[in-house]
Amino acid sequence: MAATAQSVAEICAGARAASLALARAGTAQKDAALEAMALALRDRSDEILTANARDVEAGAEAGLSAALVDRLTLTEQRVEAIAEAVQEIRALADPVGETIDGHRLPNGLDLRRVRVPLGVVAVVYEARPNVTIDCSALCLKSGNAIVLRGSSTAAHSNAVLASVAQGALAAAGIPEAAISLVAGGDREELREIATQEGLVDLVIPRGGEGLKAALVEHATVPVMYAASGNCHVYVDDTADLDEAVAIAVNAKVQRPGVCNAMETLLVHADVGAELLPRVLRELRESGVELRVDGRTRSLAGPLADTLGEATEDDWATEYLALICAVRVVDSAEEAIEHVNRYGSGHSEAIVTGSTDSARAFTSGVDAACVYVNASTRFTDGGVFGMGAEIGNSTQKLHARGPIGLRELTTYKYVIEGSGQVRPG
């Protein structure tokens, strides 16, 4: 791709110029580009899968974990799902130009607050090639140019997918530089992107704490962290235990290598003797390594001698693997305290039959998404009706939770008058 012959600054400058044209594009033009993108994904599926197979093979040879290989891998079904997500984004209402609110001032001026694109969004991500298309489609629909910086692990996949996206722009008469890929993957490029003041308006990193730390150290451009997910499921003393087992197993096992998977299970002491032997057995049978506190071990029944010992580090770890920490607590308040101390602010769940406990948990837990009697695995822009997501923000400004179309806009005030001047 042409991106390999350009410096990071040149790529960002091209994106800035393209963003001005894209901001003026109408909904029909953007939707035409999205339709072309979905069609090209299907037409070039074999090419995408061939490139991806090279990345997967190299990743396996390099010793990537099973969870990371799963995140890296594309299949025919996953490519189709990516294409469907693009079409879902196309079908969503265009946020650009939407009037958020407005009123007439006493002096007769009409004031409106209107959504506008952010400008240029840089997304830095690791071994998930679907992000290339998800983020490109969301930025396109919301009127933003995007600079993509994937990892070297997915270099072949990202190159083909970015070319698909750029071709869709050209077909709709939108500058190709509105979607740009920074090829490579070393930390110097990351530092350059994060310091492109005046060219890049926002950097969104999707990755672990190491990526976050690298940006914190160098960024002069605003950063919105789509960071780690140290998520919990708490089983209250009033919970339906069949429901609790199903939720805990789903939250840990269904796809362990993603940020909304459960990493720690908290169990109320009053149901521990009945619940823990069941849920620990099902987790173990699903291949989960269990690291537990002493109270859990004492209530675990026949599995007790096979359980690992949880350390302080385990409570704070996002495993992204078939590993789960387990702790017994004496109350919902103690569970809330644990979650707020060790959680990353991503997704937290309570399983309970008590309205009071549910209310205490949802009001007391400091996280972007808080569930009552449901798995944490639902935290996802597509599931939430956003078509897809750029990531899940664990911050509070300016967006929190799944980052979709509206989260990729800011606003301006438009004031219309009839000759008014301000008196002295």
Render pLDDT for 245-255 as a digit per residue (tens, 0 to 9).
Answer: 999 999 999 99
For residues 117 and 141, the answer to whether their CB atoms sit within 8 Å is: no
**pLDDT, mean of residues 100-126:** 96
Q: What is the pLDDT of residue 188?
A: 82
Mean pLDDT of 120-129: 91
Domain ranges in the chain are 2-226+390-416, 231-378
Task: Please report which confidence band the pLDDT of residue 183 belongs to, taking 50, 70 and 90 as the band edges.
Answer: confident
Binning pLDDT at 50, 70 and 90, where does residue 227 land?
Answer: low
pLDDT at 396: 87
Average pLDDT over every residue of 235-253: 98
Q: Which of 30, 11, 204, 225 is nearest to 121 (CA)?
A: 204
Choices 1.10.8.10, 3.30.390.50, 3.40.605.10, 1.10.287.130: CATH for 2-226+390-416: 3.40.605.10
How would residue 388 be classed by pLDDT, with cut points 50, 70 and 90? confident
Q: Does pLDDT of 326 surpass 70?
A: yes
Task: State yes or no: pLDDT of 421 exceeds 80.
Answer: yes
**pLDDT tops 80 at residue 3:** no
Distance CA 176, CA 168 (A): 8
**For range 383-389, the mean pLDDT:** 87
Average pLDDT over residues 266-280: 98
- Judged against a pLDDT cut of 60, whether residue 4 lies above it is answered with no
Give the C-alpha separation, 369 to 357, whole Å. Answer: 17
How does residue 206 score in pLDDT terms, banded at 50, 70 and 90?
Answer: confident
Q: Are 345 and 367 in contact (CB under 8 A)?
A: yes
Of residues 246 and 68, more confidence is placed in: 246
For range 98-110, the mean pLDDT: 98
Specify the pLDDT at position 257.
84
Statement: residue 32 has pLDDT above 60: yes
Residues of the chain with pLDDT > 70, as a percent, come to 98
- The answer, yes or no, to whether the previous bond of 398 is cis (omega within 30 of 0) is yes
Average pLDDT value for the chain: 94
Residue range 231-378, CATH number: 3.40.309.10
> pLDDT higher for 233 or 391?
233
Task: Spell out the SS3 assignment of the chain.
Answer: CHHHHCCHHHHHHHHHHHHHHHHCCCHHHHHHHHHHHHHHHHHCHHHHHHHHHHHHHHHHHCCCCHHHHHHHCCCHHHHHHHHHHHHHHHHCCCCCCCEEEEEECCCCCEEEEEEEECCEEEEEECCCCHHHHHHHHHHHHCCCEEEEECCHHHHHHHHHHHHHHHHHHHHCCCCHHHEEECCCCCHHHHHHHCCCCCCCCEEEEECCHHHHHHHHHHCCCCECCECCCCEEEEECCCCCHHHHHHHHHHHHHCCCCCCCCEEEEEEEHHHHHHHHHHHHHHHHHCCCEEEECHHHHHHCHHHHHHCEECCHHHHCCCCCCCEEEEEEECCHHHHHHHHHHHCCCCEEEEECCCHHHHHHHHHHCCCCEEEECCCHHHCCCCCCCCCCCCCEECCCCCCCEECCCHHHEEEEEEEECCCCCCCC
- Quote the tokens at residue 192: 């350059």
pLDDT over 90, % of the chain:
84
- Cα gap 296→342, rounded to integer Å: 18
Q: What mean pLDDT comes out for the span 52-66?
A: 93
Tell me: pLDDT of 2 over 60: no
